[in-house]
Every structure is written in structure tokens, then in C-alpha cells.
């Protein structure tokens, strides 16, 4: 213990000094903090048992018997990036309609029966792929599977339900505009991805949802929900042959065209290619807002890129944990926010990195300048002592924690299933993370954290934001912040809550 | 109602208030094995082994919440929770989290009206570190407190208030409700997050007083769950917590039960698109008689598309976008809450008319329940779905450790699974009818409206 603690403590000058001071002040013996060596033993990921049903549907079975519950996730290899231009939100609406009456049951009967079985069926649409998740008490798996297969194979798509679903969707799009962090995402994605099919939100825009009809919804359903376009991930206490039988009974007659990816989703280049920058500032007005949402986009990596393991670790250091650089600075040092973080979105064809925080309105300038300072610092590519170990330990622990729950377990395999990769592809990913060295993190950081290439989205009171930007331009720093090196802000552009330019966008900066 | 977290990373922690319901036959079979003992200084310790994964979770409840705050210090219990991470003489500022993350551990804490919980989890070999860190701050947090530390977390908490309430649609509502239904002087009169003024007024001396008043072994319980050797755990607990001095338990007086006279009405405006009608009643306390009935009533009213209110308001009458109903359970008494998001009208007048129509429909649905109670089918639906949720909750070591502490707090015994779940098998149509009559009174409730701000200049 003693040796371990010393070794770790040596890494922290601050701690060593403080212990010494405590010793002087109290005249007591030194307290030793019992820090164990960081465990690096590889975490073993179970290999799913895979088989194919007669309909062509692929099944990945993972055993779990710690609770008498079954979790299944039908991965559909189509996402919102497959929505035709002008019909943004189509696939998400098609998914919403699937449980509005199916097989012999009306929408209400279906909802009643699902609940009665202690089951839940959830739909979600992502950019690359979608999923339909079933959770049910093990003893009710059979009847729940009947309902699940009705929903997948025999949805009714009735006019009456469509009228209601559309009305509710349009209202929830209105409500989306009330939530400033969601607005920042919708606007940011739209500006960052531009003409790329990743640009629009999964639930579409008011104008496009308005123009979608039930026939189009049915077509989108038929194109996506085909056995060759889906993989069923399932975990529970099953004997594989018996499960296979249960599934065959329900899915034998499932037919559909062979799956094809739309060209654009496969081949679309990154919107910015390999070009640099330029730094862009986008502002969305939320009059009288108590906080300003700052959301910064940088170029990321596609899912299969070999740089993702190193970038994941680097980003864990940047904004991926409580003691990350961003949170330590903006929350614990500057105390202008409840939290600041960053995350990676690594998708089929491209990815991005987002750093974000809601800062109190009065500290908008300081918030922006501190994000830039942290980006500049990270972009220098110099790790601090202990950072890599912390990031690696954190990632390892999160993986073990994922194995704790059925949903976490399935989550490890869902992208592999969606992108048609080997079921065990994550093993290599986690092995690469465990093996990553400081050099690889430093190299990827220099390439990634380039503030001059950033898109900065600000959602808050426009008057407050304009003033903050003026202050930064005039002084090259924010009050209470350090000066920024070679820092120049472009004129801001103004957008509405769905990312369309505001008429007055050229006003204040000219 | 809402709990407050040290950090917003762990959204899952918000599930702590989940109510569980199982059919009787099932409940009998379900137990969480544990060992319980008490140290000489009054600290209750609960050990639960689960060797499925190489993980351990530590969960420490202090029996103090916003109900215990002194006058003029609303929000202090939660602010104090944040200060617990600011270091001691042995663990300087910033190092609590740094050390923990460095070894692969993670942590958080939440404050409710009734209690404050601190929890950490990570690889099994971190058990000793977790126990050291918890015992260290239980021993000496206040001796290392400074105004600077207080100011840091004051700033963070005030931003939590902005993020969670002021800059969130309908957030203002939850700041208003407590004072509208609890009289001045009642421990629940103010929201857990507190007011900016009170947070501003908090001083270092308050931190010392609060620490001395509430943070000691006999006012806490420690649960350890996961992959550990119980004998070693007992030794470590004794080593780190054993030397903290004994202090007498706090005795508290229960305040008189609050009532709402007539119908209290309040209208707020907010930057939102949809008008909201919110109905609030006083209801039976956590785990007391009637609490389980009201859970099942809430489920029958608004859980899923086939629930009574959803069907009536969203489906048939096309008045609403969405509905929710829940029994928000607390120690000294609970709240039963119904929320209806109305479809937006063209102007305020139309919005008010729609909210009026919604109120009539809600009252009609409640009248039916008062008369006949919930159906057997509705009871079955509620039991099965909550059984499913109960299991999923128990997948997580952190949740299991927290549940053991919660049972100890409310039942005086961590082994209360059967007793808890047994409550739900006793619920009948008659019992729900009689509790609906007692609780969901037409006179004796708060009705709150949130109206969209009038639009200016045609902006979105």
C-alpha cells in the first residue's frame, strides 16, 4: 500500500505539498491515502452466438441470467441520413407509426397489452441506423414476441392514427425550440454538415414534416424494415435452439427487398474535406436567457478510423470526465457553469467532436474565451502527468459498468451490427485504447483541437452575446480571463431555432 | 420533488425515486441478501455481496435534506453536498475526484428534501480508497472549509439553478409549487435548490454548524455492494470509520400535516409553446398507507396511451399533447401531481379556454376513479410494468446499494423488499377508490397554469 501511494502521490506536486503543510500545522503523522495501482487487466467481452433465420434475419444472442428479464434490440440499418431531401424526419415518423396499431390490435389495445405483459417497446432513429428495443419479463417473452413481430411485420398505418401522430410530431418540433441545448444541436449539426445527409435532425424540421404524407411513411417503412436490413440483438436466459424456434415461428414469413445503402450515405465526403477552417460564429437569439449555451464543433473521425481509440482517450482528458480540463476550468475554477464537457460522434462516414457548456449570461465572454484557451492548450499536444492513466482507467471502468446491465451489454454491439462489422470488433477497439501511448494522444490532439477550424454556436440573449463578442474583439480577452494568443473572431451570423439565417444577420457587425 | 446532483453527468441517478411494485407471489421469492451491523459510534453498515463483475459500489446516506435547513438558508443542504467534494486537510482541494478517477472510480451525490446520498463505484480493488475518502470527509470536512471553496460551489450551484430551472421550459413551476402548498415554517416550504439570495448569504460558519449538526456516524448509513470480501470490508470499515466519535442521534418533531384550503390558483408565463395545466394534491407519505394505491392510480391515469387521461385528452378530445401523473413520495408527506400539456391555441384567450376544458375532463376522469377505483386490468398493468422496472433497476450495483439504504431509512430495516412489494399486492379497486376520494379532492388542491409568453414582432 505504502509504495503504491507514494508512487501515485509523486505525480501530484500539489498533493505532496499539501500533505506536508497538514503535517506542519497539526503536528500529526502523515495520512496515507490507500490508492491501489490502476488495474489494466483486459476486460473480456462476450462473443455473441450468431445465427440466421430462414427469412434472412441475422440474430446475435448474448447470454444473461442475472435478472428474469429479456432485452432485445432490432437494429435497422437505415437512419435519418436516408431521408430524401425535402422529407427530413421521414424515417423517424415511420418508426413512430409502427406501434399505432399492428396485427389484430388497435393502437390502444396494443399499448394496453404491452404494458400488461410488463413490457416496453421503444423506437429510436439515429443518423446511420435505427433501433426498436423490447424489454420484457422473461416469463412473458412469448406473448411479447407476438406483439413485437406484429409491430415489425404488420403495422396498420391507419389514417386516423397518422393524423394524430403528425399533429403530435409538429407540436413536439415546436417544443424542441424551447430547449436551448437542443436548439444548439439542431443549428450546429445543420451548419456543420451543410449539404451532407448528417445535417438534419432525426425528427426533421417543421416545414418538412408538414409535407410528409402517409404513403411516403409506408414506403420508408417497407424500405427499412426488411429482414436483410436488420439484425436482432437479444440477451436473456435462453437455450439457443429454443430461442431460434421461437423466432422462426414469428419471423419465417418476413420478406423484403435486399438491403442497399443509398449512395449518398456511403460516399458523401466530409463537408469540409481536408480544408482548414475558417472559424465560424453562429448566434441564436433566446431573449432574456439566464444562460448562454456554447457548443463548439470540431472535425472528428469515422467509426472505423484507427484514430478513434486515441482520440477517445484524448477527449476523455479534454472534456470526458468530472476532472477533465474543460470541467475543471469552467466549473471548478471559473464557477460560471454547472458543467462543461465534450464528446465524440463517430459515424459511418464521418464524425465530429463537440465541446459544450451552459454558462451564466453575464459570463458569456469568459466562457467563450476559456473554451478557446482550452482548445489552444489541447492543440499544443502536451499531455499532463497522470492524464493518460486517468483516461484509460475511466474508459476501462465504463466498459465494465456497461456489462452490468442488459441494455449496456447490447449497446456494445449495436454499432457493429448496424455497420455490418464483425460482432467482436470492439475487442480490437478496447485493446487499442489499453495500448495507446502518450505520443499517439498528443499527435491526434494536435490534429484535432484546432480552434481556427471550429464552428461555434451560441444560444442565448442576442444583446448579451453581441456585447460579449465585442468585448473579446476589442480586448483580445475576457474580463477575468487570460489573453488569447493570435485570437481573432470573425463576424457572427444569426440563425433561427432550426438553423435558417435570420433576416437581420448582417446588422450589428457591419 | 427534484433531486439535485453534484454533477449532471449521471442522469441515471435521477431514477433513485423509482417506486417498485410486484405481484405478491413474486415478491415472496425476491430478496436482496445482506448483512447489517452497527459500529460503536452509531454508524449502520450494510454489506451486500454480488460477484458477477469485478466492481464495487459504496453508498452513504446522511439523514439530512432541505427540510433541515435553518431559516434564511434555503438550498444549503444541497450546497453543502457540493462542498463535500472540496477536500480536507488530508485530501487537498480537487484531489477527491482526481484520485478517484485516476484509479478508475466515479462518484456523484444527490440531495432531496429528506436525505443526502453520496456514492462511488469502480473496480473492486477501490473499496479501501472509497471508504478512506468517505470517512475522511465525515471526519474533517469542516476543518478545511474556506470562503474561497464556498464561493466556488456557490457559483456552481447558482448555475445549476439557472440550467435546471430558469433556462429550462416550465422550470419556474417547480420553484413555485412548494410555497403554494406548504405553509411558512413547514420543512417543505421551499424548493431543494433554494433561492439565489439565500445561497448568496451562506457563510463558512453555516458550513461548520451544518457539518456539526448533521454529518456524524449515527446520522448516516453506509451500504457496500458488489465484489468484495466481507471480512476485509468489515475490517476496513472499522479502520476508517471506527475512530469517528459517538454522537447522539437527532430527534425530530413531525410537523403537522399540511392542508390546502379550497382551490389555490396561480398562473405563470414562460418562453414555451404549449400551455400547461398542473394539478397538485397532498398525498400519503413515502411507504405509508395509501402510497402504493396512489402509485397505481397514477399509472391508471397517465401511463401509456391506453391510460385514462391520455385516451381522453389526447385521443378522444384532442385537447392535449401529452399527460403525466405521479405520486412524488417523501418522508413527511407526498405530492400527487397531474400535468397536462395542452395543444396550443391562437392566443392567450384560446389557451385559457383550452385549459378550462382540460380541467373539466380531468375532474370527470377523477370522479370515475372516485366512484369505481381502478380496474383489475389496470392493477395488473401497473404491477407487471413496475416489476420489470424493478428488475432493471437492480441490475446496477449503485441502485442496489441505494435501495438498501432507502429501506433502512424508511422501514428501519434494509430487508424490506417483501414488505415494500407486498403493499402493491394489497391494492384493490375499493382501496384505490377510497384513496382517490381522500387524496384527489376537488376542493383542496393547487391548480397551476403556465402560459406561453405573448409573441413580439413575429419572431420564432
For residue B93, what is the domain's CATH number? Answer: 3.30.830.10
Q: Do B272 and A178 touch (CB under 8 A)?
A: yes
Across the interface, whether the CB atoms of B101 and A322 are under 8 A apart is answered yes
**CB proximity B54 to A under 8 Å:** yes
Sequence length of chain B is 460
Question: Is B172 in the A-facing interface, judged by CB distances under 8 Å?
Answer: no
- Does B188 map to a domain? yes
Q: Do A321 and B128 touch (CB under 8 A)?
A: no
- The nearest CA of chain B is from the CA of A268 a distance in Å of 32
The tally of domains found in chain B comes to: 2
Is B27 part of any domain? no
Whether B459 is covered by a domain: the verdict is no
Statement: residue B15 has pLDDT above 80: no
Q: Is the pLDDT of residue A104 over 60?
A: yes
Tens of pLDDT, residue by residue over B185-238, are: 999 999 999 999 999 999 999 999 999 999 999 999 999 999 999 999 999 999
Please give the pLDDT value at position A260: 59
Contact A323 B152 (CB under 8 A): no
Average pLDDT, integer, range A413-432: 96
| B99 and B172 inside one domain | yes
Considering the domain architecture, whether residues B305 and B183 belong to the same structural domain is answered as: no
> Tens digit of pLDDT for each residue in B84-133?
999 999 999 999 999 999 999 999 999 999 999 999 999 999 999 999 99
Put simply, the answer to whether B102 touches A389 (Cβ < 8 Å) is: yes
How much is the average pLDDT of B293-304?
97
On chain A, the residues whose CB falls within 8 A of the CB of B241 are: none
| Minimal Cβ distance to A335: which of B8, B105, B155 | B155
Nearest CB neighbour to A107, from listed B102, B305, B344: B305
* B454 confidence band (pLDDT: 50, 70, 90): confident
Q: Is residue B1 part of a domain?
A: no
Same domain, B213 and B73: yes
Angle at CA of residue B304, ends B300 and B310, nearest 5°: 75
Instruction: Mark which of B207, B241, B275 sits at the end of a domain.
Output: B241
The pLDDT-based confidence of A346 (bands split at 50, 70, 90) is very high
**What tens digit of pLDDT does each residue of B136-156 get?**
999 999 999 999 999 999 999
B401, B371: one domain: yes
Averaged pLDDT for residues A385-398: 96
Q: Is the pLDDT of residue A275 over 70?
A: no
Test B91 with A322 for CB contact under 8 angstroms: no
The answer to whether A121 touches A148, Cβ cutoff 8 Å, is yes
User: Å from A136 to nearest chain B CA?
Assistant: 7
**How high is the pLDDT of residue A271?**
54
Q: Please indicate, yes or no, whether residues B124 and B177 belong to a single structural domain of this protein.
A: yes
Tell me what pLDDT residue A455 has. Answer: 96
Residue B158, chain A, CB below 8 Å: the answer is yes
Cα–Cα distance list, B391 to A47, A135, A406, B53, B399 (Å)? 24, 11, 11, 17, 11
Contacts A396 to B, Cβ<8 Å: 104, 123
Residue B67 lies in a domain: yes
Which of these, A264, A278, A182, lies nearest to A499 by C-alpha position?
A: A182
Question: Looking at CA atoms only, how far is residue B399 from chain A in angstroms?
Answer: 12
Predicted pLDDT at A38: 78
Q: What is the predicted ipTM?
A: 0.92
Q: Which domain holds residue B405?
A: 263-452
Consecutive H or E run containing A218? helix A214-224
Q: Which residue of B has its CA nearest to A392?
A: B104
Position B369 in a domain? yes
Give the mean model confidence (pLDDT) for residues B1-17. Answer: 43
**B167 and B83 part of one domain:** yes
- B426-429, long-range: CB within 8 Å, 24+ apart, which pairs? B426/B292, B427/B292, B427/B293, B427/B296, B427/B379, B428/B373, B428/B379, B429/B372, B429/B373, B429/B374, B429/B375, B429/B376, B429/B379
Across the interface, whether the CB atoms of A337 and B156 are under 8 A apart is answered yes
Which range has the worst mean pLDDT, A223-232, A398-407, B3-12, B376-385? B3-12
C-alpha cell at B277: 395545466
Q: Provide the mean pLDDT of chain B.
A: 92
Whether residues B86 and B235 share a domain: the answer is: yes
Q: Is B271 an interface residue toward A (CB < 8 Å)?
A: yes
Say whether B163 and A109 touch across the interface (CB within 8 A).
Answer: no
Q: How confident is the model at residue A503 (pLDDT cuts 50, 70, 90)?
A: confident
Taking the CB of residue B42, how many other CB atoms lie within 10 A of it?
Answer: 18
B52 touches A: beta carbon within 8 Å: yes
Q: Hey, which residues 66-105 in chain B have their CB within 8 Å of chain A?
A: 89-92, 94-95, 97-99, 101-105
Chain-chain contact of A179 with B152 (C-beta, under 8 angstroms): no
pLDDT of residue B31: 79
Q: Which residue of B has its CA nearest to A502?
A: B459
Cβ atoms of B22 and B387 within 8 Å: the answer is: yes
Does residue B11 fall inside a structural domain?
no
Q: Is B302 helix (H, G, I), strand (E, B) or coil?
A: helix
> Do strands A291-299 and B320-328 pair parallel, antiparallel, or not at all (unpaired)?
unpaired
pLDDT at residue A229 is higher than 80:
yes
Judgement on whether residues B307 and B445 belong to the same structural domain of the protein: yes
Same domain? B289 vs B212: no
> Does B276 reside within a domain?
yes
Average pLDDT on B380-406 reads: 93
CB spacing of A38 vs B103 below 8 angstroms = yes
Domain boundary at B208, B241, B274, which?
Answer: B241
Q: pLDDT by residue (tens digit) across A113-172?
A: 999 999 999 999 999 999 999 999 999 999 999 999 999 999 999 999 999 999 999 999
With a cut of 80, say whether residue A457 has pLDDT above it. Answer: yes
**Would you state the pLDDT for residue A37?**
85
Whether residues B237 and B272 share a domain: the answer is no
Residues B267 and B235 placed together within one structural domain of the fold: no
pLDDT at A9 over 60: no
Sequence-distant (≥ 6) Cβ neighbours of residue B42 within 8 angstroms: B216, B217, B218, B219, B246, B247, B249
The answer on B307 and B356 residing in a single domain is yes
Average pLDDT on A209-221 reads: 97
pLDDT band of residue A509 (cuts 50, 70, 90) is very low
Residue of A66, A171, A285 lying closest to B343 (CB–CB): A171
Nearest chain A residue (CA) to B122: A397
Contact B104 A497 (CB under 8 A): no
* Average pLDDT, integer, range A343-364: 96
Nine-digit cell string for A118: 410488463
Interface A-B: count of C-beta contacts within 8 A: 230
Q: Which of A393, A406, A434, A505 to mutate against chain B (most B CBs within 10 Å)? A: A393
Whether this prediction's pTM lies above 0.90 is answered by: yes
Going from the N-terminus, what domains does chain A have, and what CATH number goes with each?
49-266 (3.30.830.10), 280-391+422-506 (3.30.830.10)
Cell of A399: 466498459
More confident residue, A4 or A71: A71
Give contacts of B 282-311 with A, CB under 8 A. Answer: 303-306, 311
Look at A285 and B97 and tell me if their CB atoms are within 8 Å: no
Amino acid at each position: 500500500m505504502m509504495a503504491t501511494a507514494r508512487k501515485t502521490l509523486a505525480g501530484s506536486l500539489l498533493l505532496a505539498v499539501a500533505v506536508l503543510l497538514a503535517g506542519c500545522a497539526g503536528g500529526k503523522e502523515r495520512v496515507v491515502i490507500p490508492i491501489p495501482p490502476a488495474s489494466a487487466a483486459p476486460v473480456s467481452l462476450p462473443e455473441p452466438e450468431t445465427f440466421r433465420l430462414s427469412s434472412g434475419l441475422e440474430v446475435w444472442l448474448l447470454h444473461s441470467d442475472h435478472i428474469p428479464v429479456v432485452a432485445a434490440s432490432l437494429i435497422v440499418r437505415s437512419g435519418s441520413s436516408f431521408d430524401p431531401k425535402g422529407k427530413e424526419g421521414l424515417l423517424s415518423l415511420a418508426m413512430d407509426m409502427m406501434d399505432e396499431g399492428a396485427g389484430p390490435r388497435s393502437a390502444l389495445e396494443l399499448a394496453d397489452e404491452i404494458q400488461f405483459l410488463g413490457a416496453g417497446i421503444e423506437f429510436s432513429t439515429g443518423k446511420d441506423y435505427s433501433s426498436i428495443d423490447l424489454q420484457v419479463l422473461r416469463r412473458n417473452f412469448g406473448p411479447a414476441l407476438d406483439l413485437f413481430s406484429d409491430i415489425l411485420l404488420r403495422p396498420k398505418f391507419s389514417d386516423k392514427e397518422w393524423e394524430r401522430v403528425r399533429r403530435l410530431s409538429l407540436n413536439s418540433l415546436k417544443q424542441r425550440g424551447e430547449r436551448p441545448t437542443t436548439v444548439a444541436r439542431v443549428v450546429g449539426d445543420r451548419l456543420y454538415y451543410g449539404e451532407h445527409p448528417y445535417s438534419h435532425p432525426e425528427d426533421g424540421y417543421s416545414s418538412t414534416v408538414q409535407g410528409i404524407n402517409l404513403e411516403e411513411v409506408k414506403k420508408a417503412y417497407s424500405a427499412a424494415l426488411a429482414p436483410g436490413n436488420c439484425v436482432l440483438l437479444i440477451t436473456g436466459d435462453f437455450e439457443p435452439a429454443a430461442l431460434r424456434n421461437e423466432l422462426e415461428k414469428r419471423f419465417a414469413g418476413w420478406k423484403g427487398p435486399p438491403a442497399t445503402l443509398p449512395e449518398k450515405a456511403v460516399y458523401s465526403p466530409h463537408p469540409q474535406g481536408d480544408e482548414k477552417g475558417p472559424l465560424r460564429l453562429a448566434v441564436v437569439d433566446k431573449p432574456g436567457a439566464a444562460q448562454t449555451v456554447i457548443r463548439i464543433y470540431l472535425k472528428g473521425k469515422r467509426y472505423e478510423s484507427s484514430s478513434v481509440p486515441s482520440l477517445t482517450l484524448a477527449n476523455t482528458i479534454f472534456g470526458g470526465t468530472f476532472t477533465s480540463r474543460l470541467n475543471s476550468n469552467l466549473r471548478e475554477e471559473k464557477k460560471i457553469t454547472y458543467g462543461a464537457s465534450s464528446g465524440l460522434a463517430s459515424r459511418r462516414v464521418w464524425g465530429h467532436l463537440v465541446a459544450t457548456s451552459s454558462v451564466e449570461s453575464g459570463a458569456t465572454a469568459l466562457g467563450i474565451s476559456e473554451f478557446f484557451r482550452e482548445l489552444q492548450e489541447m492543440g499544443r499536444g502536451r499531455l499532463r502527468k497522470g492524464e493518460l492513466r486517468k483516461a484509460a482507467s475511466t474508459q476501462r471502468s465504463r466498459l465494465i459498468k456497461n456489462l452490468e446491465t442488459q441494455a449496456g451489454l447490447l449497446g456494445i454491439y449495436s454499432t457493429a451490427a448496424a455497420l455490418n462489422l464483425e460482432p467482436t470488433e470492439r475487442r480490437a477497439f478496447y485493446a487499442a485504447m489499453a495500448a495507446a501511448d502518450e505520443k499517439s494522444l498528443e499527435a491526434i490532439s494536435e490534429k484535432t483541437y484546432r480552434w481556427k477550424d471550429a464552428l461555434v454556436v451560441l444560444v442565448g440573449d442576442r444583446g448579451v452575446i453581441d456585447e460579449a463578442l465585442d468585448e473579446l474583439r476589442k480586448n483580445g480577452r475576457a474580463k477575468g480571463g487570460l489573453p488569447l494568443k493570435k485570437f481573432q473572431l470573425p463576424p457572427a451570423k444569426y440563425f433561427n431555432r432550426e438553423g435558417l439565417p435570420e433576416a437581420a444577420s448582417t446588422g450589428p457587425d457591419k | 420533488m427534484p433531486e439535485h446532483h453534484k454533477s449532471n453527468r449521471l442522469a441515471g441517478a435521477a431514477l433513485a425515486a423509482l417506486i417498485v411494485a410486484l405481484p405478491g407471489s413474486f415478491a415472496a421469492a425476491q430478496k436482496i441478501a445482506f448483512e447489517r451491523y452497527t459500529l460503536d459510534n452509531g454508524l449502520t453498515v450494510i454489506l451486500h455481496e454480488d460477484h458477477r463483475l469485478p466492481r464495487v459500489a459504496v453508498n452513504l446516506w446522511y439523514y439530512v435534506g432541505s427540510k433541515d435547513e435553518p431559516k434564511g438558508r434555503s438550498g444549503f443542504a444541497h450546497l453543502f453536498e457540493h462542498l463535500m467534494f472540496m477536500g480536507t486537510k488530508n485530501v487537498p482541494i480537487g484531489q477527491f475526484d482526481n484520485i478517484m478517477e485516476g484509479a478508475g472510480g466515479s462518484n456523484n451525490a444527490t440531495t432531496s428534501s429528506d436525505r443526502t446520498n453520496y456514492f462511488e463505484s469502480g473496480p473492486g480493488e477501490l473499496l479501501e480508497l472509497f471508504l478512506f475518502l468517505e470517512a475522511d470527509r465525515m471526519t474533517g470536512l469542516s476543518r478545511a472549509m474556506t470562503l474561497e471553496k464556498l464561493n466556488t460551489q456557490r457559483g456552481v450551484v447558482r448555475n445549476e439553478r439557472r440550467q435546471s430551472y430558469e433556462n429550462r421550459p416550465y422550470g419556474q413551476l417547480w420553484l413555485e409549487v412548494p410555497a403554494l402548498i406548504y405553509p411558512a415554517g413547514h420543512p417543505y416550504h421551499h424548493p431543494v435548490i433554494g433561492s439565489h439570495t439565500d445561497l448568496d448569504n451562506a457563510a463558512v460558519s453555516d458550513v461548520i454548524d451544518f457539518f456539526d449538526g448533521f454529518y456524524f456516524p449515527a446520522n448516516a448509513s453506509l451500504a457496500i455492494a458488489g465484489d468484495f470480501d466481507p471480512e476485509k470490508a468489515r475490517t476496513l470499515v472499522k479502520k476508517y470509520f471506527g475512530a469517528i466519535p459517538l454522537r447522539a442521534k437527532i430527534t425530530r418533531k413531525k410537523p403537522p400535516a399540511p392542508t390546502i384550503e379550497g382551490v389555490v390558483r396561480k398562473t405563470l408565463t414562460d418562453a414555451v409553446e404549449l400551455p400547461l395545466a398542473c394539478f397538485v394534491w397532498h398525498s400519503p407519505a413515502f411507504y405509508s398507507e395509501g402510497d402504493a394505491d396512489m402509485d397505481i392510480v397514477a399509472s391508471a391515469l397517465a401511463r401509456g396511451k391506453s391510460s385514462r387521461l391520455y385516451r381522453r385528452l389526447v385521443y378522444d378530445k384532442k385537447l392535449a399533447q401529452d399527460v403525466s401523473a405521479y405520486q412524488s413520495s417523501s418522508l413527511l408527506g407526498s405530492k400527487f401531481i397531474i400535468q397536462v400539456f395542452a395543444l396550443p391555441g391562437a392566443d392567450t384567450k384560446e389557451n385559457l379556454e383550452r385549459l378550462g376544458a382540460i380541467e373539466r375532463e380531468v375532474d370527470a376522469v377523477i370522479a370515475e376513479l372516485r366512484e369505481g377505483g381502478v380496474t383489475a386490468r389496470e392493477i395488473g398493468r401497473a404491477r407487471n410494468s413496475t416489476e420489470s422496472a424493478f428488475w432493471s433497476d437492480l441490475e446496477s450495483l449503485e441502485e442496489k446499494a441505494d435501495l438498501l439504504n432507502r429501506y433502512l431509512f424508511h422501514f428501519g430495516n434494509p430487508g424490506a423488499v417483501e414488505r415494500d412489494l407486498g403493499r402493491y399486492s394489497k391494492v384493490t379497486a375499493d382501496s384505490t377508490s377510497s384513496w382517490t376520494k381522500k387524496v384527489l379532492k376537488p376542493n383542496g388542491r393547487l391548480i397551476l397554469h403556465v402560459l406561453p409568453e405573448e409573441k413580439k414582432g413575429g419572431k420564432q
